[in-house]
Amino acid sequence: MRRVWHIREGDPELAEQLARTLDVHPLVARLLTQRGVKTEEEGRRFLTPALSDLHEPGLMKGVDAAVDRLVQAVKSGERVCVYGDYDVDGVTSVSLLTLFLREFGLVPDFYIPSRLRDGYGLNQKAIADIAARGTRLLITVDCGISDPDEIQQANDVGMEVIIIDHHQVPEQVPPAVAILDPHQPGCSFPSKDLAAVGVTFNLVMALRARLRDLGQFEHREEPNLREYLDLVALGTVADIVPLLGENRIITHFGLAELTAGRRPGVAALKEIAGMLSGQVAAGQVAFRLAPRINAAGRLGEASSAVELLTTNSYSRALTLARELEQANKERQVIEHRIFRQAQEEAQKAVDRGDSALVLASDEWHPGVIGIVASKLVDRYARTVVMIALDGEAGRGSARGTEQIHLYRTLQACAGALESFGGHRAAAGLSIARDQVDGFRSAFLEVVRESIRKEPAERKIHVDGEVQPSLWSTELVEQLGVLSPHGLGNPEPLFVARNMTVKSSRAVGREPPYHLKMALAEGAQTWDAIGFGMGDRLNDVIEYMDLVYTPEFNTWEGKVSIQLKLRDLRPGV
């Protein structure tokens, strides 16, 4: 596959001005302009996030009605149930709301559907069971916006419903007492890219303010919402929403809470993940903490992950964290097998010239196909839909390229689907077995029209050409002010030309192997590591061009600058 290194555009004149006014290195100022900073004030907010810069929760449509209904529930001690999705965003949203409502004497139930038994979203049996327990108020988090029939069923059996979601809003809006979703028409909340846990946090902020006005804190301590930001950061980073604006603020402070590890479940999870010391970075959340939380919902029941994040007992949390660790190891084995199988089918589709990859199998686990789909997108630069078939039904996960809006693409193929939901970059669906071929044809046609037959290529966005000899300890430290990194604020990437390869080898105990290199530029040498790039070893020759990020590496007490590789190709 052709890999294209695309240099991000910036504003040299503005960068020069920001370097002076913000007192940062010119390279850091250039990186700011390449990430959308247009003024000195925007630069200050980017570099020094402040909780005071969070938007007023009252700007979110539906928040006042939701707060009214929750105040009523608190005053009357009603039975409340929080119904959430089985991924990290759903689990952290359920945990956040459950813990906050406990502060006011409510003991809410929670329900996380089984990915295997129930599928995504609300289901009728669960609604009936929840109502039978005497529930008066049902709160959905990270789901509900695409379930009008189930919401109506809840109303019919005597439950009012608050929907907290962040997915695209369908034409038929569910009959809820309040809907919080920044994408709904008429919502003036400026940050449209919140994860569901971010929307939930805004509701909690508004509810605390109302309870303060009602005198709830005259004789008791007011809840410190900063202590909940560890949960918000977990869900926000895991759901791959842009880490800009409001998301950047809550993630910045949430990572500090994760580093402190005051919550028993977080401390136990960090211990199992080998993160007992040092600051927690967004990358560690994405690749070490989140997969362990997700493992419960992928292979079994996600309720254990909610218990982990809400328990006050460290010993119980450690037991649960160990269970998640085992589930994560099982998930890795299954994922590796499915990836090998899917690669074979994907290559056939690529050879045929398919505009996207729509793959289906009876041998695939529905809880793992989303991860594999993401890997296939990265490898083949095509939008991917993977469908796990079981009997006459199939459940699918879709991941898209930057050219494709997945939700809209699925809308165009809705006639072949039983249900679907999601957003631009990721989606889920259910489909009958006999509709798979028709759906594949329709999906490929819509994608083909969207990309207008552009060649499949893996576009790697870089921030400029910088030879490693430029880096000093001080400059690499300054790059740190741009974190946390994620969608919308990627880790800075640079191109280095004609690096001399002193040695190269694949390392690691099991696939995917890593590429380890010793590089030289003149008399200077650097270690380089390409995670998951062991299969590129045969591409290495004496002189190589690289895409990399400089980072600190500590070994036996000595700190050095190493190059974290993203891509490579022969030098000129």
pLDDT of 458 over the 90 cut:
no
* DSSP state string for 299-320: HS-THHHHHHHH-S-HHHHHHH
pLDDT (mean) for 377-392: 92
pLDDT of 331 over the 80 cut:
yes
pLDDT of 196 over the 90 cut:
yes
Q: CB-based contacts of 479: which residues, under 8 Å, 6+ apart?
A: 28, 31, 492, 550
Tokens encoding 352:
């045929």
pLDDT band for 456, please (50, 70, 90 cuts). Answer: low
Q: Do domains 53-325 and 353-455 have the same CATH topology?
A: no
- Identify the weakest region by mean pLDDT among 3-7, 234-238, 285-289, 436-440: 3-7
Q: What is the CA angle 18-38-27, rounded to 5?
A: 40
pLDDT for 91-122, tens place per residue? 999 999 999 999 988 989 999 988 767 767 78
pLDDT (mean) for 308-337: 94
Q: List, as own/partner pairs, every contact residues 453-457 make where C-beta atoms lie below 8 angstroms and the sequence separation is at least 24, other chains included.
A: 453/355, 454/403, 455/2, 456/1, 456/2, 456/350, 456/380, 456/381, 456/382, 457/1, 457/2, 457/3, 457/4, 457/381
pLDDT of 2 over the 70 cut:
no
pLDDT at position 381: 86
pLDDT of 537 over the 70 cut:
yes
pLDDT for 153-193, tens place per residue? 999 999 999 999 999 898 889 999 999 999 999 999 999 99
Do β-strands 137-141 and 543-555 pair in parallel, antiparallel, or remain unpaired?
unpaired
| E strand or H helix that includes residue 259 | helix 245-260
pLDDT at position 193: 94
Cα–Cα distance for residue pair 113/314, rounded to 1 Å: 26
pLDDT at position 116: 67
pLDDT (mean) for 196-212: 97
pLDDT band for 453, please (50, 70, 90 cuts). Answer: low
The average confidence (pLDDT) of the chain is: 93
How crowded is the C-beta side of 272, counted as CA atoms within 13 Å?
Answer: 28
Domain ranges (residues) in the chain: 2-48+460-570, 53-325, 353-455
Sequence-ordered alpha helix ranges (H) in 353-487: 369-380, 406-412, 436-451, 473-479
Cα–Cα distance for residue pair 520/397, rounded to 1 Å: 43
Q: What is the pTM of this model?
A: 0.89
pLDDT at position 452: 75
pLDDT at position 341: 94
Comparison of pLDDT for 232 and 114, the residue scoring more: 232
- Identify the weakest region by mean pLDDT among 13-22, 222-231, 447-456, 477-486: 447-456
pLDDT band for 83, please (50, 70, 90 cuts). Answer: very high
Is it true that the peptide bond before 484 is cis, omega within 30 degrees of 0? yes
pLDDT at position 454: 61
Cα–Cα distance for residue pair 269/321, rounded to 1 Å: 5
pLDDT band for 403, please (50, 70, 90 cuts). Answer: confident
| E strand or H helix that includes residue 291 | helix 290-299
Q: CB-based contacts of 563: which residues, under 8 Å, 6+ apart?
A: 468, 496, 519, 526, 527, 528, 529, 546, 548, 549, 550, 551
pLDDT of 432 over the 80 cut:
yes
Report the percentage of the chain scoring pLDDT > 90.
81
In order of 452, 453, 567, the CA distances from 490 in angstroms are: 27, 28, 15
pLDDT (mean) for 309-326: 96
pLDDT at position 547: 97
pLDDT at position 425: 83
pLDDT at position 74: 93
Cα–Cα distance for residue pair 98/34, rounded to 1 Å: 40
pLDDT for 241-274, tens place per residue? 999 999 999 999 999 999 999 999 999 999 999 9
pLDDT at position 455: 61
Q: Which of the four CATH numbers 3.40.190.10, 2.40.30.10, 2.40.50.460, 3.90.1150.10 does domain 2-48+460-570 have?
A: 2.40.50.460
Class assignment of domain 353-455?
alpha beta
pLDDT band for 30, please (50, 70, 90 cuts). Answer: very high
Q: How far is Cα of residue 543 from the mean position of the Cα atoms in its chain?
A: 37
End-to-end CA distance of the chain: 20
pLDDT at position 171: 87
- Identify the weakest region by mean pLDDT among 41-55, 109-123, 351-365: 109-123
Torsion sign across C-alpha atoms 40, 43, 49, 53: positive
- Helix 12-21 crosses helix 40-47 at what angle (to 10 degrees)? 60
Tokens encoding 290:
């989140």
pLDDT (mean) for 404-420: 92
pLDDT for 500-515, tens place per residue? 999 999 999 877 789 9
Q: Which of the four CATH numbers 2.40.30.110, 3.40.50.2300, 3.90.1640.30, 2.30.130.10 does domain 53-325 have?
A: 3.90.1640.30
pLDDT at position 228: 98
Tokens encoding 331:
């998930």
pLDDT for 120-143, tens place per residue? 778 999 999 999 999 999 999 999
Residue closest to 32 by CA, chosen among 51, 42, 564: 42
pLDDT at position 305: 94
Cα–Cα distance for residue pair 398/426, rounded to 1 Å: 6
